[in-house]
Structure 1
Amino acid sequence: MDDQDSQRWEYEILRPPRDETKKEADNPKTEINELADKGWRLVETIDYSSGGTKYIVFERPRSESTEDVS
């Protein structure tokens, strides 16, 4: 197994801001850019079956400081 196969990942979930109608109220660009500045990469969106984004999923390689010690 090479280093790519043994890479560990951590995930972050962003829920877009909503108004009373449960529709997206604001553009989450600022929050997305803040996560990107911290090394997070957008990998997927999870949508409601009726439309609209429920969650935005990010990933980044785990740093050695966040690795579980076995």
Structure 2
Amino acid sequence: MHDSDSHLWEYEILRPPRDETKKEAANPKTEINELAADGWRLVETIDYSSGGTKYIVFERPRSDDGDI
């Protein structure tokens, strides 16, 4: 078992801002960097079937206090 396999994980979901045309309206770089500073790492993106990013998924090891 790898060391990372022994962690319990928590997840955070970021939904990129969209404008009225349903296109990504702004670069979410600031929000992504804020999450990274809090220990979150990018795991995956979930895209719309017609294109574009619907969600950005992050994970980090859950703290021992069990606070989710």
Normalised TM-score (structure 2): 0.90
1:58 aligns with 2:58: yes
Residue 7 of structure 1 and its aligned partner are, at CA, apart by: 1.1
Trace 1:40-51 onto structure 2 (pairs within 5 A): 40-51=40-51
Q: Counterpart of 2:23 in 1: which secondary structure? A: coil
Normalised TM-score (structure 1): 0.87
Residue 14 of structure 1 and its aligned partner are, at CA, apart by: 0.1
Gapped runs of 5+ residues in structure 2? none
Q: Which stretches of structure 1, 4 residues or more, deviate above 2 A after TM superposition?
A: 1-6
* Aligned residue pair count: 68
- Tell me which residue corresponds to 2:38: 38
Q: Counterpart of 2:49 in 1: which secondary structure? A: coil
Gapped runs of 5+ residues in structure 1? none
- Pairwise CA RMSD: 1.7
Percent identity (aligned): 82
